[in-house]
Amino acid sequence: MPDGSAGGTPPSQGRREGWDRVLVALVSDEAWTMDLLRDACDREDFEVRQLPRSDVAFERIVRMAASVIVVDISGGDPGPFDLLRHLQAAPETRPLPTLALSPTPDPLARAAAIAVGVEDVAHRGVDPEELQSRLKTLARLANAAIRDQENEASLHRLQVRLRERGRELEEAQRLVDHMRHSLQTDQHTQRSRVEGLVQVAMELNKLQDFHVLMDRILKEGRRLIHADAGTIYIREGKLLRFAYAQNDTLDRDAGEAPRFSSFLLPVGDGSIAGWVSASGETVNLADAYELDARAPYRFDRSFDQMTGYRTRSVLAMPLRTSMGRVVGVLQVMNAMGSDGRSRQRFNDDDVALLGHFASMATVAIERTQLTESIINRMLRMTETIDPDETGRHTEKVAGMSAILFEGWAQRRGLEGPAFERQRDRLRIAAKLHDVGKVGIDNRILKKPRGVALTPEEFAEVKRHVIIGASFFLDNPTEVDEVARDVALNHHERWDGSGYPGHVDVHGHPIPDPATGLPRTGGKKGLEIPLFARIVGLADVVDALASERCYKPAWEERRVLEEIRAHAGRHFDPELVEIFFERLDAIRELRRSLGG
């Protein structure tokens, strides 16, 4: 996806209020352009903001949420035309109308501007009232186009999910029936919980990446019944994987605690989670340290002893499918009141509410596991061709990419469901970044250590980005679009020395609209989609730190020196900064995944 897509308010959201007021973004370094627009936009229903013609113009336009974009194309500089092409290509700015502004009525400049997709062209001598009318017309047309686009997308999502929603509605109805009875004791609190649960269930079904979903389920389950800590265990045959953990108290005391883990427990081993998984029964304890000696399970205090935490109340619940199969265990600890004070235990209303939530969460888990299964089949195909493309490598690249995106989004104030959906799509795309290698001769990919590739063999290897991008062309979803951009562009370099350069997904050169000639060299800087820049950095980090058929693993010190040395050359310098800011989280991720 293009840069800036997550760093501000999308065009379709930033103008919900008052489309009668036209916000004009003027990209120009010339004083006369601002004077002309002031004359044309002197009414209260206009606002003009001028931006310099620089590399940051695109991202600032996205954050500004303008109604119309006016770009000064004077001076013979190709920069404005590059910006116009970028605006037309990026999903978040494609609906916005653009007007090219030149100092004279030059027919060649007009033709070049129209070739890159502008809706209108004007020159310095245009009548201000005419320019005002044209700007307002463009703004109204953009509003109508955006609304049509939103309505069409909403209708499509509704059609695709009708059958899935049936199961959710049944669960919601059972929840409503239960809550009608509970409202007699605490009407306001219970109504809020129902509304929150239904909303969360809808949002869970928008997530497609398994790890992002686990994080969200645990967070929302704890929030619904006010639990200080929690864990999710995922069943893998006869084992339970301690997949995710959250703890508000430890986070406050020592910063964000590690979220990834790889501990395994046998199902039915006598632990609380093992017994819940084996029996399918719920466990609700007031104090895990004071268990009845006849209880068929025990509580392991080792985590408390290691961290200084004190676990008291515990509520452990099976994640059971509609067919009765237990796919995991949701366990929350230490009940809290809405005022933040500790409660003695989780009450019956908490058990009922978390039970309904667990049913809804399991539907989302089943769907996500199906998606994961399809992705893993594709990755296993790649692994049989290329010994470097192991499942562990793709998981590490996906995890590091998510961490880097979190840092990028935090700098821009992006959070909430919109951020989670973007991170979700990035994780999936990162796993599939090298799927195109299934189309490369495995005799090339499996050449022994020390045997260099010939120029012809290297050219063949580079084709994997085109092959990978072509897998995501038919009936594209938002995930497909991101996966296509990442597969095609993750070997581009910040300084323009990467590949495949300015080509379409079929490998055909894309001519420069202004000259008609093919553009040479690789994409550079912000021309490279943000997610491709992120995955490109994560891919190199893991490749350097891992043993490959052609080299041993590098020591961490050497890897860090290499990444730092190539900031602004191979890698986006801002992402390198974020990499070092989040190095502890990346180390923990790599440790949990085996190096």
Residue bearing tokens 């020591």: 555
Enumerate residues 6+ apart whose C-beta is below 8 A from 459. Answer: none
Least confident of 15-29, 33-47, 263-277: 15-29
Closest CA to 575 of 63, 566, 544: 566
> What angle separates helix 478-489 from helix 416-431, to the nearest 10 degrees?
50
CB 224 within 8 A of CB 357: yes
Of the candidates 243, 333, 317, the residue with the CA atom closest to the CA atom of residue 280: 317
Which whole number is the average pLDDT over 53-76? 82
Looking at residue 527, its pLDDT comes to: 93
Reported as a single tens digit per residue, the pLDDT across 411-445 is 998 887 778 778 888 988 898 898 888 888 878 87
DSSP code of 495? T
Q: Which residue has the higher pLDDT, 367 or 455?
A: 455
How far apart are the C-alpha atoms of 129 and 590, rounded to whole Å? 62
Whether residue 185 is predicted with pLDDT greater than 70 in this model: the reply is: no
* Structure tokens, 517: 């000639």
DSSP 154-169: HHHHHHHTHHHHHHHH
Provide mean pLDDT across the span 508-525: 86
Q: What are phi and psi of 520, to 5 degrees?
A: -95, 160
272-309: per-residue pLDDT in tens?
A: 999 999 899 999 999 999 998 889 999 988 888 888 89
Of 522, 534, 520, the C-alpha closest to 579 is 534
Which H helix or E strand runs over 59? helix 57-64
Domains of the chain: 11-156 (3.40.50.2300), 164-368 (3.30.450.40), 386-592 (1.10.3210.10)
CB 278 within 8 A of CB 316: no
pLDDT tens digit sequence for 343-359 = 999 999 889 888 888 88
Helix 79-89 to helix 107-115 angle (10° resolution) is 30
Side-chain half-sphere CA neighbours of 584 within 13 A: 6
Asked whether the beta carbons of 328 and 277 are under 8 A apart, the reply is yes
Print burial letters for 91-127: b (CB count within 10 Å at least 16), e (below 16). ebbebbbbbbbbbeeeeebbebbebbebbbbbbeebe
Q: How much is the pLDDT for 501?
A: 93
Kindly report each contact of residues 322-325 with a partner whose C-beta sits within 8 Å and lies 24 or more positions away, as own/partner.
322/167, 322/363, 324/280
C-alpha of 200 from chain center: 18
What is the pLDDT, as a whole number, of residue 374? 63
Dist CA 453 CA 369 (whole Å): 38
pLDDT in tens, 203-257: 555 555 666 777 788 888 898 889 999 998 888 778 887 777 888 888 776 544 4
Q: What is the DSSP string of 507-563?
A: S-B-B-TTT-SBPPS---GGGS-HHHHHHHHHHHHHHHHS-BTTBPPPPHHHHHHHH
Which range among 123-127, 367-371, 499-503 shows the weakest confidence by mean pLDDT?
Answer: 367-371
Torsion on CA atoms 512, 487, 575, 428, rounded to nearest 10: 140
State yes or no: pLDDT of 382 exceeds 80. no
